Structure 1
């Protein structure tokens, strides 16, 4: 009897405004994922787009400018057109209202990893296997990765941790698709910070929402696969 082939996926995670005392009212976590078999091709396509536009260095939301606007609009069109690529974003609203002690959620660092769990557990399926790459946060991240893997696997009764074949921290320059996670996470944060000061960023956001057909300002149904958004509001004491 033939054994069904397990689909392997790569997941790339990034964050914006995640520090506790950065003065920002929100925290945003984002993840790009695709079948592992497509990752190399998609990375090569992104490098080709960069080369055509003579865009050197990493793709970063912070670098969005009017002089490079056609490049960034093409990135959005490419992402939306590539059916293997998916994005999920989680936005913590009113971050200043978080009360970790009142709700037994440890400190802000532990809360960050709980939110990573909430981001990822809606992506993962026990019928598939995943390699998860997180943008390096600090020197202590390695130990926390082990715990995150255990919690994600135990949530689907995968006590041998087979579902997550690999999990590690990397720098964004090491993976082209990590840079796409950075870009879309940054865009989501810009929308929820209600910023308008950069006309190029506003144009990219409007282009994305128009082509996608939805707004980044609201949660999407879980069945939404291309871009899935979840807004988290702190509970009141």
Structure 2
């Protein structure tokens, strides 16, 4: 692998939803939002301006979606679709209760979580670019696992010096506007796959996303779809 100062630098922001093993949820989702680093400042400012126009104070989070801010969230979706530099990939683990880590040599749930992180990210990374990856803080042990994740991702493209991923760290979502956008789309994807119906505003936002994309969030997409890509992981079952 040959990376230089002129090699494109991409920022990736990774968030998760319903990832805990004992949360009694049927699905978990990981989401990665990415764009060229040269666009981060402009896009972050544009997102702040959009929030200010709608008087949407505080962090952008899927959990905060409500009818009183429905116009803001629909405008947010329109902005994301119109901004060519912005891309999102979501990985949905279906029927999470069927996971059997021991049977398939997956270690424990934390190890499986990082295997899913690898599956999410390895389809985004290219040896022709360099990356800075920011993951939402999960727990106090995440730092050691980040080192292993970087090593595995780089070795996958024979980058044994880890030059492809110049930076990888955990951050809090309030530290980066674009991390909050990753939270928003990860949450929408999870809500859709859980089949929830209790929040009409969230259902309206999901409907708007699907209308703008021209497809359902329940559908997996081909890899060539880079605006909003969806990968569905089906756990293997033990026995016949």
Do these two structures clear the TM 0.5 threshold for a shared fold by scoring above it? yes
Q: Which residue of 2 aligns with 1:157?
A: 158
Across the aligned residues of Structure 1 and Structure 2, the Cα RMSD in angstroms comes to 0.9
Deviation at 1:218, TM superposition (A): 1.2
Query: Whole-Å Cα distance in 2 between the matches of residues 188 and 4 of structure 1?
Result: 36
Q: Which residue of 2 aligns with 1:22?
A: 23
Q: Which residue of 2 aligns with 1:96?
A: 97
Q: Which residue of 2 aligns with 1:5?
A: 6
1:196-218 Cα shifts (integer Å, max 9, x gaps): 11110000000010011111001
Q: Secondary structure at the match of 2:131?
A: strand
Deviation at 1:5, TM superposition (A): 2.7
Q: Which residue of 1 aligns with 2:131?
A: 130
**Any unmatched runs of 5+ in structure 2?**
none
Q: Which residue of 2 aligns with 1:193?
A: 194
Query: Whole-Å Cα distance in 2 between the matches of residues 206 and 47 of structure 1?
Result: 24
Q: Secondary structure at the match of 2:35?
A: strand
Equivalent residues in 2 for 1:55-204, closer than 5 Å? 55-204=56-205
Q: Secondary structure at the match of 1:235?
A: coil
Query: Whole-Å Cα distance in 2 between the matches of residues 35 and 180 of structure 1?
Result: 15
1:68-106 Cα shifts (integer Å, max 9, x gaps): 100111110000000000000000001100010010010
Q: Secondary structure at the match of 1:23?
A: coil
Query: Whole-Å Cα distance in 2 between the matches of residues 80 and 159 of structure 1?
Result: 36
Equivalent residue pairs, number: 235
1:179-229 Cα shifts (integer Å, max 9, x gaps): 000000000000000011111000000001001111100110011010100
